[in-house]
Structure 1
Amino acid sequence: MKYGNRKTKVQRILSRVLILLACSLLLSACNEKEEDNGFPDEQNAVVFNGRVVNSDGIGIKDVKLRVDFIDTRLFSSLTRKKSETKTDQNGNYQLKFYVRADEDTLFKQHLPHVAYRLTADASKLSADKYLLPEDATYQMEIYGRPDASEQVDCMIPECRKIDVTLTGFSTQDYSNNEFYISIKTPAGFFSKDEKGIRHFYGSYGKDYKATQPNVHYTIPLAVNDSAEVMVLRQKNGKGNQVWKKIYIGKTSPTSLTFDYNAAD
């Protein structure tokens, strides 16, 4: 009987391993990645042109640009690499690819899970100099078939680290009290209107939460730009949000303080 019990345990372990292996294979099959192996067809060619610049409009070299066709339907996804390049000395780039027949068919159905994804990979840039997301990439998605020629620029702001203090927070009742700031800075891909005003498709953002009466953070903020700071104070279950715009110059401010008990 002892031997039989051991055999049952072994069988159970093997069954679990096989189930995990099967699930892993199933997930791999449902999340496909492939290279675009279609034949060039100039009638279906699309060219993305643009520049990658800092806040002052100065080009940034050696930033990788890539465009993928993505189909992110439930339980099944496809990422098809279409084209890849990198910026030149002046920050210019050009991506050329071809719309395949199966992609065009899906676009004509106006499906919400089908798009071209444009990615700027800034992993070679210094995080001490530039404002970078955690994965060092900025992305935008284009739904519907793009025009034969598209102008899409990308801004990666230079940054300066600033000491930020959250003060005055009581930690006695976390369920009803909360204090944090959420910082957003325009960054990433953008287009310009007729007046030359930039319209961003995304932003750089991060939350910083108070976990004790005085919390200190060192936060990178874009230089020569206004950071949007949302201050949330929740007291006894009632929340209050205040938005502030803070201009960050090359040398000032050097620090910021937000008080849980402030009147604003």
Structure 2
Amino acid sequence: MKKYILLALILTTFLNCSKTDDDTENVCTSNCTIVRGRIVTENDTPLKNIKLRLDYRILNAPFSASTRIIKETETDENGFYTMQFFIEDSEIGENGQGYFALLIDESHLSTENYIRKNDIYIAEAIYSLPTRDTIIDKSFYIPTKEFITVTLNNFLPLSSNDKFEVQTLYPSGLKIGQNDLIESQYAAQSSGFGNYTSINQVETFNNVIVARNEKNLITIIKVKNGITTIENFLIFVPEDNNINLTYEY
């Protein structure tokens, strides 16, 4: 019983030491900082009505945290968004004890059509802004969901650690300029990691997730007697594809 009482006291202390300030109604008229960008999907198609939020977050271990909600907005019909705000003295450069968190709300996007990260998530963390009166560009890509079929043949394990697996990598997230792995201007997200692993001699996966109308990196992982080999194949996946890939163990 004493343990439960102590836990309740700790949680109460944490909640009491955590605070949130909502400054979204504040209007910046001078020395303003601007965060702007565009959110698109396949074929540079804009995504409208994507909600975004900018926080400044401070976590002082172990039980003190604060959040200043700075701005909220959403993308227009062309996928563009803009946030204009004033940075407080305690948030500038070396004075900053926390970080700016740019959140994206994907909750209204269909999981059948899009590869979502989460309902609401931190899309980008900005750890230091040295000055006010600056413009920061943060654009993002949300991939359209497609599936391919992959068959893994002749999986005959010699030990319990042997493995035959397929993973995929595709453009998703922040616009970074150049991603040589997938020949994209965006960062990458992966699928797999145990979801498409052979347990039988012949295994066919009809629902391997990839990004539509994009180049996807197909990774084949083989572990034989403790020796791991990895092969990568870059393929373009069109709409309504009938791609069926086969790999040998």
- TM-score, normalised via structure 2 length: 0.80
Matches within 5 A, 1:120-139: 120-135=104-119, 137=121, 139=123
Q: Which of 1 and 2 has greater Rg?
A: 1
Matches within 5 A, 1:153-168: 153-168=139-154
Counterpart of 1:205 (choices 182, 190, 206) is 190
Paired with 1:78 and 1:207, the residues of 2 have a C-alpha distance of 36
Q: Per-residue deviation at 1:139?
A: 0.5
Query: CA-atom RMSD, angstroms?
Result: 2.9
What are the ranges of 5 or more consecutive residues in structure 1 without an aligned counterpart? Answer: 1-12
Q: Whose strand proportion is higher, 1 or 2? A: 2
Q: Per-residue deviation at 1:18?
A: 0.4
Matches within 5 A, 1:1-80: 13=1, 15-29=2-16, 32-36=19-23, 42-72=29-59, 74-75=61-62, 76-80=64-68
**Alignment partner of 2:82: what SS?**
strand
Counterpart of 2:79 (choices 84, 91, 113) is 91
1:251 and 1:96, CA in 2 relative to 1: closer, same or farther beyond 3 A?
same
Assess if the C-alpha contact under 8 Å between 1:171 and 1:211 holds in 2.
no
Pairs aligned (count): 238
Assess if the C-alpha contact under 8 Å between 1:170 and 1:212 holds in 2.
no
Counterpart of 1:189 (choices 160, 170, 174) is 174
Q: Which amino acid aligns with 2:216?
A: A
Q: Whose helix proportion is higher, 1 or 2? A: 1
Assess if the C-alpha contact under 8 Å between 1:121 and 1:138 holds in 2.
no
Paired with 1:100 and 1:38, the residues of 2 have a C-alpha distance of 15
Matches within 5 A, 1:111-126: 114-126=98-110
1:79 and 1:170, CA in 2 relative to 1: closer, same or farther beyond 3 A?
farther
Q: Which one is further off, 54-63 or 138-147?
A: 138-147
**Alignment partner of 1:128: what SS?**
coil
Name the % identity.
Answer: 23
1:203 and 1:77, CA in 2 relative to 1: closer, same or farther beyond 3 A?
farther
What are the ranges of 5 or more consecutive residues in structure 2 without an aligned counterpart? Answer: none
